[in-house]
Amino acid sequence: MWMNQYGRIRGLHISSFCLPAGTTPLEEIRELNPAGVILSGGPHSVHFDESPILPEGFFAFTREQGIALLGICNVLHLIVDLLGGKVNHAEHHEYGRTQISAVEKSRLYGDSEAMHNRTVWMGHGDQVVKLPDGFRVVATSTQGIVAAIENEKANIYALQYHREVLLIRLMQNVLEKEIKEIAEMVGPDDHIICALSGVDSVAAGALVHRAVGDRLHCTRERMMATFEKDLHLPVTCVDAAEQFLNWREIGKKPTYLVQGTLHPDVIESRSPHESGDSHSHTIKTHHNVGGLSEDMKLKLVEPFKWLFQDEVREMGALLDIPDSFLKQHTFPGHVLAVRIIGDVTQENALDTLRLVRLGAFYKIPPFWILLSC
């Protein structure tokens, strides 16, 4: 699924997962027990050998389970082709805004008058010549191109343009589920979390505190008052700069590593080789995804790995985290160290960069910002 579609769907509080097209086995889809499946389109023609395909038995599975199926863009052609219709290849692809109209009342559009001359963004390189049995055209473009089809009995729908569906997922339910899973995972022992001042880290710390209560002990060099006053977290100030800079081991041997990993981190870091998706590319590798040592013995606690940034902020509001945290300017993790050329030292590097950061947040004149160059 294209990320703009995925983000819009998640923004509607729909519990959704993005799986690679053409390589995801049917069993993996079955284990997720979906209420619906959206097949996102791409530039490939159904007549090309490298085009994504559906796993064997996919349509039988969705029909038996009563799963709603929505195809977008060229998936309309794929559905038609696989189910016995006919699709011709066009010499030229067409992309851009166009007018479409519903041709009759349908489950997709309801009253056809509501879809009269609606402007959409449509792209296609193939054209439907014949529909499979049980399907009907429910919308066409002003040029007569098939814009939408449906088979209400089979619960299969397809659009030649982009549109979203709505399945309600309340963030409160996600919050309760994460609290329960964390409590079961970490057990009855006390736990220490090194809490940063970023949105993801603060929200993760607040969530773990909800799960384990006063058995959580936070350590933070700065912002002590805010953590204690606003978040009501038991905070202990530990000045461990020297130990970290000298690569020394501090404290007891940890058991769990709590990370504020977000779902975009996972998606952007995933390579086609790792995911089995030959139709995508690695966007960038995140330090918290694939950057941990293979010898690491820590168990990961990543409550936000299926959430986006706006969803974390929404959950943070449910955790009573103040807006001063939730709406603060983004400051990427590890950004101090990666900005330093040469040795990472406290006096002439880290402290200077921290002043630069304060200058950026509190709008001290621009010459402060030049110190980071």
Report the catalytic residues: 73, 162, 164
Are 193 and 216 a contacting pair, CB within 8 Å?
yes
Sign of CA dihedral 298, 301, 305, 309: negative
Task: Quote the strand ranges of 195-247, DSSP E.
Answer: 216-219, 235-236
Q: In the sheet that 191-194 helps form, which strands lie side by side, from edge to edge?
A: 191-194, 216-219, 235-236
DSSP state of 123: E
DSSP state of 66: T
134 is in an annotated binding site: yes
136 is in an annotated binding site: yes
Q: From 253, 282, 128, 242, select the one nearest 191 (Cα to Cα).
A: 253
b/e map 150-170, b = 16+ CB within 10 Å: bbeebbbbbbbbbeeeeeeee
- The residue with tokens 């982009």 is 162
Cβ contacts of residue 184 below 8 Å, gap of 6+?
A: none
215 is in an annotated binding site: no
129 is in an annotated binding site: no
- The residue with tokens 């079961």 is 184
According to DSSP, the β-strands at 68-72 and 36-39 are: parallel
Q: Which token pair is 112? A: 């056809």
At 99 the three-state DSSP class reads strand
254 is in an annotated binding site: no
Measured CA to CA, the distance from residue 185 to residue 141 in angstroms comes to: 54
138 is in an annotated binding site: yes
169 is in an annotated binding site: no
Are 53 and 22 a contacting pair, CB within 8 Å?
yes
Measured CA to CA, the distance from residue 195 to residue 224 in angstroms comes to: 10
Please enumerate, by residue number, every residue annotated as part of a binding site: 132-138
Please enumerate, by residue number, every residue annotated as part of a binding site for ATP: 132-138
